[in-house]
Amino acid sequence: MSSVVPKVAVIGCGISGAVCASTLAKNGVAVTAFDLGRGPGGRMSQRRETTKEGIELFFDHGAPYFTVTNTGVLDVIREWESRGLVAEWKEKFGTFDCISKSFIDSGEELSSRKYVGIPGMNSICRALCDEPGIESKFGTGVAKMEWAVDQNSWSLISLDGKFLGDFSGLVATDKILASPGFTYVTGHPPPLDMNLAPQMASRLEEVPFRSYFVLMLAFHEPLRSIPVKGLSFINSAILSCAFCDSSKPGRASASECWVLHSTEEYAKKVIADAGRTKASDITLARVSEDLLQEFQRTGLCTSQPYFMKAHRWGSAFPTISIAREDKCLWDVNKRLIVCGDFCVSPNVEGAIRSGLAAASKFMEMCSCTPCL
Ligand SMILES: Cc1cc2nc3c(=O)[nH]c(=O)nc-3n(C[C@H](O)[C@H](O)[C@H](O)COP(=O)(O)OP(=O)(O)OC[C@H]3O[C@@H](n4cnc5c(N)ncnc54)[C@H](O)[C@@H]3O)c2cc1C
């Protein structure tokens, strides 16, 4: 690598971006990490809600937990465990049949270890983005990534038109950053003009995502009729799973907090009726009622929650993986890398693998061509 410290912008502080930023910083790269969101985490976010009575509630409303099979990723998880960022969620899980209204034996309890961030799913990303060598800028959406040929560098412009800096390399971690034809809810076109990297464009063109709704619920008393803390539902058109967030390690909640996840079919139907634009309050109220009533129809939930709020994940899971072998896409000449779960597999493990691969590819690029 050149003796001059390379300066890289990582766009997106979900787990792929956070892992990539942390790995680059440990290798002496000066990283600036940007995220549109108020904090890091992306689809591993934790939602904080304060009720009218002033009760503070926390919900992992994206990924409820993750599993790991890859040995390289397991090493990373062990290091995070030793830092207290991750712990195993050792509660019982089960599968509930909504027709027979009974738990069935699906081998769920025997499946692999379930890991959660401590004290929230987003804590891992937050800790990684706080590491030395990383400057994190949250609440900063990148609207434009411009390649200056004469300077051999990238210039970034924010959604509110501010200049964010010049960088010798760029790591884009969200598919929408480079989706040909995509228009942000803000009305902006995708920040990365794919004419700059035509070899990537065709692979990024068709990455459909599945949408889901989740419902966050808080109860004053524990739901004692549920013998497990995580459930998958079968034979429900509305509910796919439910998780008791307050049973996770490291959560300090006086209330019992649950997150219900809709089925894909239900989300499709609601979105077809309501449109793909941001879900309105009316739509979210309808979703809240539908999911809660279905949960109550199971007979497992007999109490009324004192808090409930629905959230729509318009792009929850990519349906294809576009770089299973390489784990990220890149352009050596422009030191541009695209990574994220859509490159490897639609889960936290896939996103971690992609973030690690992106960092390693960038280091490799710098050893071939000096990165100023
Ligand atoms: C409801 C739900 C349930 C899930 N369940 C599981 C599960 O059980 N197990 C599992 O392993 N995985 C699960 N997942 C999937 C998992 O959360 C994702 O695979 C993983 O978090 C993806 O990480 P990522 O870094 O690739 O993308 P993301 O987390 O989406 O990160 C991309 C980031 O880029 C930011 N960004 C986008 N545009 C801009 C811009 N213009 N400027 C700046 N920043 C920008 C976004 O704000 C976001 O933070 C679930 C996801 C959801 C939504």
Domain with residue 26: its CATH number is 3.50.50.60
Residues in contact with ligand 1 (CB, 6 Å cut-off): 11-17, 34-37, 42-44, 62-66, 141-142, 173-174, 176-177, 191, 212, 214, 261, 313, 316-317, 340-341, 346-349, 351
Given this model, what pLDDT does residue 110 score?
55
Banded pLDDT at 252 (limits 50, 70, 90): confident
Q: Are residues 147 and 277 in the same domain?
A: no
Tell me the CA end-to-end span of the chain in Å, nearest whole number.
10
- Domain contains 52: no
Banded pLDDT at 108 (limits 50, 70, 90): low
Given this model, what pLDDT does residue 183 score?
60
State the closest ligand 1 atom to the C-alpha of 18, by its place in the atom list counted from 1: 25
Q: Which residues pair with residue 96 across a beta bridge? A: 103, 233
What CATH number corresponds to the domain at position 230?
3.90.660.10
Residue nearest to atom 5 of ligand 1 (CA): 63
Contacts of 94 (CB under 8 A, 6+ apart): 103, 106, 108, 109, 227, 228, 230, 231, 232
Residue nearest to atom 27 of ligand 1 (CA): 14
Average pLDDT over residues 349-371: 88
Banded pLDDT at 181 (limits 50, 70, 90): low
Q: Are residues 258 and 276 in the same domain?
A: yes
- Domain contains 133: yes
Average pLDDT over residues 23-51: 96
State the closest ligand 1 atom to the C-alpha of 42, by its place in the atom list counted from 1: 49
Banded pLDDT at 286 (limits 50, 70, 90): very high
In whole angstroms, what is the distance from residue 213 CA to residue 346 CA?
Answer: 17
State the closest ligand 1 atom to the C-alpha of 350, by its place in the atom list counted from 1: 19
Given this model, what pLDDT does residue 187 score?
67
Average pLDDT over residues 328-341: 95
Given this model, what pLDDT does residue 4 score?
62
Range of the domain at 111: 65-120+208-319
- Domain contains 363: yes
Q: Are residues 34 and 146 in the same domain?
A: yes
Given this model, what pLDDT does residue 231 score?
96
Pocket test for ligand 1, best of 13, 204, 291, 348 (most atoms within 8 A of CB): 348
- Domain contains 55: no
- Domain contains 357: yes
Given this model, what pLDDT does residue 185 score?
54
Q: Are residues 216 and 276 in the same domain?
A: yes
Average pLDDT over residues 328-345: 95
Number of domains in the chain: 2
Distance 63 CA to ligand 1 centre (A): 8
**Averaged confidence pLDDT in the chain:** 92
Q: Are residues 38 and 185 in the same domain?
A: yes
Average pLDDT over residues 192-215: 88
Q: Are residues 34 and 148 in the same domain?
A: yes
Q: Are residues 219 and 347 in the same domain?
A: no
- Domain contains 84: yes
- Domain contains 257: yes
Phi-psi domain of 287 (left: phi exceeds 0; alpha: psi -120 through 50; beta: other): alpha
Q: Are residues 313 and 168 in the same domain?
A: no
State the closest ligand 1 atom to the C-alpha of 37, by its place in the atom list counted from 1: 47
In the chain, the percentage of residues whose pLDDT exceeds 90 is 81
Residue nearest to atom 53 of ligand 1 (CA): 316
Distance 71 CA to ligand 1 centre (A): 22
Q: Are residues 187 and 132 in the same domain?
A: yes
- Domain contains 53: no
Which residue, 319, 335, 362, sits at the end of a domain?
319
The answer to whether residues 16 and 24 touch, using CB atoms and an 8 Å cutoff, is no
